[in-house]
Chains A and B, each alone.
Chain A
Amino acid sequence: PTLTRECLSQLAELPETHQLLRQTCRDYADKELIPVAAKLDKEHAYPAKQIKELGSIGVMAIEVPEDLGGAGMDYLAYCLALEEISRGCASTGVIVSVNNSLYVGPVLKFGTEEQKKRWISPFTTGEKVGCFALSEPGNGSDAGAASTMAHQDGDHWVLNGTKAWITNSWDASAVIVFATTDKKLKHKGISAFLVPMPHSGLSLGKKEDKLGIRASSTANIILEDCRIPLDNMLGSRGAGFKIAMQTLDSGRLGIASQALGIAQASLDCAADYALKRTAFGAPIGKLQAIQFKLADMAVALESARLLTWKAALLRDSKKPFTKEAAMAKLSASEAATFCSHQAIQILGGMGYVTDMPAERHYRDARITEIYEGTSEIQRLVIAGQILKEYQL
Chain B
Amino acid sequence: MSGRVLVGVKRVIDYAVKIRVKPDHTGVVTDGVKHSMNPFCEIAVEEAVKLKEKKLIKEVVAVSCGPQQSQETIRTALAMGADRGIHVEVSGKDYDSLGPLQVSKILAALAKKEEAQLIILGKQAIDDDCNQTGQMTAALLDWPQGTFASEVSLEAEKIKVVREIDGGLETIKINTPAVLTADLRLNTPRYATLPNIMKAKKKKIANVKPADLGVDLTSRLEVLRVDEPPQREAGVKVETVEDLVAKLKDTGKI
CA distance A56 to B193 in the complex (A): 7
Contacts of A20 in B (CB 8 A): 75-76, 79, 192, 197, 200
Q: Tell me, yes or no, whether A197 is within 8 Å of chain B by CB.
A: no
User: Is the Cβ of B191 less than 8 Å from the Cβ of A71?
Assistant: no
Q: Tell me, yes or no, whether B201 is within 8 Å of chain A by CB.
A: yes
Contacts of B200 in A (CB 8 A): 17, 20
User: Is the Cβ of B76 less than 8 Å from the Cβ of A66?
Assistant: no
CA distance A28 to B200 in the complex (A): 20
Contacts of A28 in B (CB 8 A): 191
Q: Tell me, yes or no, whether A358 is within 8 Å of chain B by CB.
A: no
User: Is the Cβ of A21 less than 8 Å from the Cβ of B197?
Assistant: yes
CA distance A366 to B191 in the complex (A): 32
**CB proximity to B under 8 Å, residues A16-35:** 16-17, 19-21, 23-24, 27-28
User: Is the Cβ of B193 less than 8 Å from the Cβ of A73?
Assistant: no
User: Is the Cβ of B195 less than 8 Å from the Cβ of A58?
Assistant: yes
| A: contact size bracket | 20 to 34
CA distance A128 to B111 in the complex (A): 46
**B: number of interface residues (CB 8 Å):** 14
Q: Tell me, yes or no, whether A205 is within 8 Å of chain B by CB.
A: no
CA distance A16 to B36 in the complex (A): 13
- Give chain A nearest CB distance to B108 CB in angstroms: 30
Q: Contact check: which of B72, B193, B201 meets A24 at CB < 8 Å?
A: B193
User: Is the Cβ of A66 less than 8 Å from the Cβ of B195?
Assistant: yes
Q: Tell me, yes or no, whether A62 is within 8 Å of chain B by CB.
A: yes
**CB proximity to B under 8 Å, residues A42-98:** 56-59, 62, 66, 71-73, 77, 81
Contacts of A24 in B (CB 8 A): 191-194, 197
Contacts of A62 in B (CB 8 A): 194
CA distance A73 to B195 in the complex (A): 9
CA distance A66 to B202 in the complex (A): 15
Interface string of B88-113 (1 = CB under 8 A from A): 00000000000000000000000000
User: Is the Cβ of A73 less than 8 Å from the Cβ of B198?
Assistant: yes
Q: Could you say which of A56, A58, A73 has the most chain B C-beta atoms within 10 Å of its C-beta?
A: A58
* Chain B: CB-nearest residue to A32: B191
User: Is the Cβ of A73 less than 8 Å from the Cβ of B194?
Assistant: yes
CA distance A21 to B191 in the complex (A): 10
CA distance A304 to B8 in the complex (A): 40
CA distance A23 to B73 in the complex (A): 12
Contacts of A58 in B (CB 8 A): 193-195
CA distance A105 to B79 in the complex (A): 26
* Chain B: CB-nearest residue to A31: B191
- Give chain A nearest CB distance to B46 CB in angstroms: 14
User: Is the Cβ of A19 less than 8 Å from the Cβ of B72?
Assistant: yes
CA distance A71 to B75 in the complex (A): 18
* Chain A: CB-nearest residue to B36: A23
User: Is the Cβ of A57 less than 8 Å from the Cβ of B198?
Assistant: no
User: Is the Cβ of A17 less than 8 Å from the Cβ of B197?
Assistant: yes
- Give chain B nearest CB distance to A265 CB in angstroms: 16
User: Is the Cβ of B191 less than 8 Å from the Cβ of A57?
Assistant: yes
Q: Contact check: which of B191, B197, B198 meets A27 at CB < 8 Å?
A: B191
A-B contact pairs, 13 of them (CB 8 A): A16-B72, A17-B197, A20-B192, A21-B197, A24-B193, A24-B197, A28-B191, A56-B193, A62-B194, A66-B198, A71-B195, A72-B195, A73-B194
Q: Hey, which bits of chain A sit against chain B, CB under 8 A? A: 16-17, 19-21, 23-24, 27-28, 56-59, 62, 66, 71-73, 77, 81
Q: Apart from A58-B194, A71-B198, what 16 extra A-B contacts exist at CB < 8 Å? A: A17-B198, A20-B75, A20-B76, A20-B79, A20-B192, A20-B197, A23-B192, A24-B193, A24-B194, A57-B191, A58-B193, A66-B198, A71-B194, A71-B195, A72-B198, A73-B194
